[in-house]
Every structure is written in structure tokens, then in C-alpha cells.
Chain A
Amino acid sequence: MNELIKHAKELLEKGEVAAVIGYRQVSEKRTKPVIITEPEETRALVFNEYCLNNLAVYLTKARIKLLGRKNNKSFKLAITAKPCDVHSIVALIQENQIDRDKIHIISFNCHGVVKDFGFDFNGDNLSSKCITCETHKPLYYDKLLGEVKETPQARDSALERIKEIERMPHNERFEFFRSEFDKCIKCYACRAVCPLCYCQRCITDKTIPCWIETSSHQRGNFAWNVIRAFHLSGRCTGCGECDRVCPADIPLSLINRKMTIEANNLFSFVSGRSLETPTLVGSFNEKDNDELFM
């Protein structure tokens, strides 16, 4: 980890960046995001299997953006990002939320993280996104750290769950999701933690006209969760943060995962994998699937 600290310190000392967004250890199996502006504070920085948060979410926050602007000059921001977090950063660049030139990506050779704080790092406790992860080395970075290590093997239980749901008849499926969504308390933690939910005012906050009923009843919950999933279709990079933070344990990333699979099937597109490929939403191909239409 000395390398990370050294690098971050150097960046701040040379004034190349205004701040470093990173992780610090809070207990043995728990880390927290930290935003460092002073070189000496960099000693707190860590990177390990407990760095769960997708720090890309901070990049779009106004408070953080302000850090990049001092005395009417703009500075870079450095961010420590797992290879999967880099996908989110790529998506944000493509959606014009951040400038590639204005961020300094410190990334790592990653071999997976735990599914939640407090667990031991092994195959059983591997975060579900790491099971199918194909980018153990980041696709874009300015500094690459860490050594290459084997990722533990684990069963792709999420995919099995999707398959299982797909086997249910429609009414059962509906009932399943209705009861799952019914648990929603509209805390919007999923929205807060999602790096791609950067809208200043979310669709659900728009009340004239009212797009999604905000009170926490079945119908409103259903609409919210469907539209949340739809808005992320073809954009979600699969970081799985929404799932982790949901206090009601709604299987949000299951739907996201399903839509990612569909995006790949229908349009051979996975979000956040390339800066050059046009985004799925906002582009089209004359030869897109036309089967749906009579």
C-alpha cells in the first residue's frame, strides 16, 4: 500500500490534483470513503478486498466538483477505483458528467472484493459481480498499482436465480416482484449510491405532472422500481452497489443484471467498457431487432 500512499502524496504535493478520493480502513473488515486534500493525510489510504464502495459516485457531486476549482482555476481530481469502478467512470465520461482530462484514475489489479463488510474474503463471500468479472485489470487508468492475484472460484448464483425466475409463469413472476417491491420504503439509497443516478432532480421527484407516485404503496413502489431499472437499462455497469445498500433487501442488481444480459444479447453492448463505442441509449442501428413489431 505504500505505493498508493506515495503516489497520492506525490500528486498532491506537486499540485497535480486538488484532492484524492480513496478508501480508509475503519476496522479490520471495513473501509470508508475518504476525500483527502492534504498530502500528509494520504497515509490513511488503503486498497484491499474491503474497498466495496464505488467511489465514482462522488465525481458527480457538486461539493466534490467544487474541490476541483480553486481560485478560478480548475484542477484534476484523483480517484482510486477498482477496475469495475472504472466502468462507471467511463459511463460518466460518455454521459458528459466528467471530463477525462479532469480526473486522474488510480486503479489496481483486482482479484475481487467481499460481498459486504465483515465477511472473510473467500469464494463463498465473494461479491456477485466479481464472480463473472472479466476485467481484473482496468480498461482505463493513469496509474496502475497492486499485484495480480487469483480470484477465488464461486458459483454464479445470481444467474441461476435469474434463470429460476425466468422459468416461473408470468403471474408467479409478477407476484414475486410485486412482493419484493412491496418491501420498498422509498429511502432512495439505491439512487444515492448509484454513480449513474446523477440527475439533480430525479424523475420521481418531478410532481408536476407526477411521474411516479412517491408514497410507499404497492403501485408506487412497483412503478419506481420498474422505472429505476429501465433508466439503468443499457447504462448500468453492474457495480451492484444498489443491492448492497438496500435496507429492504430487494434484489435490485438481479434486474440490472438481467437487463445487462439483454443489452448484450440485443445490441452486443455492455455499458462502460469503451469510450469509443457510442452509448446504447441515444444511438440506434437500422438493423436493430424488429421482431417485436407487428
Chain B
Amino acid sequence: MTSDILKDAKKLQTSFIPSGNFKESFKEKEHDKNISIQIHERSVEDEITERTFQDVSLCYQCGKCSAGCPVRYYMDIAPNKVVRLIQLGYYEEALNSDTPWLCAGCLACSVRCPKEFDLARFMDAVREIALEKGVEIKQVNILKFHNAFLDQIKNHGRSYEAGLVADYKMKTLDLFQDVDSAPGMFLKGKLILLPHNIKNRKEIKRIFKKTSGKN
């Protein structure tokens, strides 16, 4: 992906200079390729600004976030590059990246950023937008885990780990992972087999329902 940008460097120059508006030219590009992502009137950049209360242009690409990121080695694009892609209007590439999904939300980047840009929050927004726009998520297990987790909360009000693990395994069909810990859990009496339901599950359901709508 990174090399794509480098490859596109020439294109970037030619498209940038004459039109004077990079986003405009990107729109045309999108149109030609006729791909799945719809560019709405509000650009992804605006959406992110709206959700995170911070302007993407704050970032001056020093790379301190990537330098301190604990999961940097597993990412396809450095976190600072994701910001860069958004800054330049390469939304598709940014939304398709693994990086936001691998972000563990440890906030190391956010607390060290010299421009006080909350990158963790930015990654949250990128994920939200990717989901809303129906981008295909490559880190499918991570997404499935989150969905399984949220399903538990939705149904019971609290997470219920036996159900979570079972649900996750159903979702991923990865039946043999964790074989070494789950039995231990049972033995130690830690994995409770019945869900603990809270009383006001109605409210939780309502919260889920109300917040699931697209922005």
C-alpha cells in the first residue's frame, strides 16, 4: 500500500497542480474506477473532523505515533501514513488498511503527539466510517470478536465469556484456538456457563438500537 503511493507520486503531482483541488480530482478518479465506496457530499476527512473534534491537517507527519506503537510491526501501513492518506484524499486506501483494526487503543500515540492529535480517537473514527461504508474488513477475526462481544452485551447487559468464546468460535470457525486455556477456565470455575443477565436489558437493547443507525 505504501508503495502504491510512491507509484502514484507522479499521478499525484499531475492531478494536484492543475486542478488546484486535490479532493476534486480524487472524486473524478473515484467516479472513473466506479468502486464501492461512495464519496458523499461530506468527505471522509470532514466526517473524521466531525467525529473526533480535531482537524486532520494538525498532523505534520513526524511519525512519533508510529515509533511508539506497540503493534506497529503487525500493521500494513504506519499509523502516521493513515493520517497522511486521509490528508491527501486517498480515502479508499486508508479505509481498506489493516492498521485501524490492529490499533489496540493503548493511547501511547495520543499522549505523546506533539500536536496533541488524538490518533486513537482518529482510528476509532476510521473504523466507524469503514464499517458504515461497508468496506470489506480484512482483519475479520478482530471484527468478529468485537461483534461477538457486543452481542453479549446486547443480550445480557454484561459480557459473558463462555458465550463470548462460543459465539466467537461460531463466527470464526476457529474451533481449536484457546483449547489450552478454556478447559483451565472451566476447571478453575472462572468461565461461568450461564449468562449473568442484568435487569434492565430493555434499556441496553434500546441503546443498541438507537445507536446502530447510520449518522
- Decide if A and B touch, CB cutoff 8 A: no
Chain B residues near A (Cβ < 8 Å)? none
A contact set with B: CB distance below 8 Å: none
